Amino acid sequence: MNDALPPPVVLAYQPPWSWQQFHAHYALRALPGMERLSTDSYCRSFQLDGVSGWFCVQPMQQQNALLLHHSSSASACLPALIQRVRRMFDLDAEPLRIAAHFANDAHLARSFASHPGLRLPTAFEPFEQAVRAIVGQQVTVKAAVTITGRLLNRFGEPLPAGASSEAVQRLFPSPQAIAAADLTGIGMPGKRVQTLQHFAAQIASGELLLDMSQGSAQLIERLCALPGIGPWTAEYIALRAFGEPDAFPTSDLGLLKAPLWGMGGISAKQLAVHAEAWRPWRAYAAVHLWHSSTAQANSVPNLSEP
């Protein structure tokens, strides 16, 4: 790190917490030019409260904490940046309390006892995660990352001079940029392109507020009212964009085909019934189900959205 940079910030958490889980999650989804991972660090660009810059986190070896390095420009929005990073790495969760809720669950007790440190990785920026979710309809994670990378390279702005680093150089495209873009040849079906651009236009105009100010149920309802966005996408956005602990995309194939349900899997209706006992931590149940079927979940598409 450059000696001229601001001093790093220590972000404490309640153990257990798994760097390996977060590293694997972001490694699978990282966009070159905007994100960079090493074995012991995650770096990315950001734009927050009108400030552009970068940050980098590293797990501390002797403390239950992450070390947050950041560009000098980030000092102007440091409290907001810290809040976003804490949410991104789920540092405010109470893992033992959550695990206790599942201690007697017929389906997940063993998983929570074996992996109490599994948490809920979320995106730094809600709009970015919503774009990823829309792009990810009916395709694999790998394919979605490829298409989202094209959006970044074609329509993302470079970090301003003085706020960039060798690790990351570009910002994720703005709602205005995606709404107005020519997405010919981007790699998505025409209807999904229309869904994406209509969504971006709604955000750009202020007609749609992508926030949790009225709760997750209201956000999910607003999203499902848009053409091409159904319950899977809306629930996934609540889960991955905001870290909503009770969000649960019932129709997700990774959940329906998790190994504990056996060779035939389970229906979305059956899963919804089981998930009622998991409230208010259904998102953590989803994390454990995904964890149990990581390889399979990364190789199958998500269910179709209306």
Whichever domain contains 50, its CATH number is 3.30.310.20
pLDDT level of residue 4 (50, 70, 90 thresholds): confident
pLDDT single digits (tens) 90-148: 999 999 999 999 999 999 999 999 999 999 999 999 999 999 999 999 899 999 999 99
Host domain of residue 25: 9-93
Q: Is residue 229 part of a domain?
A: no
> Longest Cα pair distance anywhere in the chain, in angstroms?
58
> Residue 166: what pLDDT?
79
Q: Strand pairing partners for 43? A: 36, 56
Provide the whole-model pTM: 0.93
| Residue range 42-89, pLDDT digits in tens | 999 999 999 999 999 999 999 999 999 999 999 999 999 999 999 999
Q: Which two tokens stand for residue 38?
A: 């090493």
Beta bridge partners of residue 34, listed in sequence order? none
**Position 210 pLDDT exceeds 50:** yes
| Structural domain includes residue 306 | no
270, two tokens: 């059956």
Amino acid residing at 144: A
Rounded to 5 degrees, what angle do the CA atoms 217, 221, 226 make?
155
Does position 297 have pLDDT exceeding 70, yes or no?
no
Q: Is 211 within the bounds of a domain?
A: no
Whether residue 298 is predicted with pLDDT greater than 50 in this model: the reply is no
What's residue 302's pLDDT?
Answer: 53
- Domain assignment present for 254: no
**pLDDT band (50, 70, 90) for residue 161:** confident
- The model's pLDDT over 244-289, given as tens digits with 9 standing for 90+, comes to 999 999 999 999 999 999 999 999 999 999 999 999 999 999 999 9
Across the range 199-212, mean pLDDT stands at: 97
Residues 5-19 pLDDT 10s: 899 999 999 999 999
| Count of domains for the chain | 1
Residue 256: inside a domain, yes or no?
A: no
Tell me, yes or no, whether 28 lies in a domain: yes
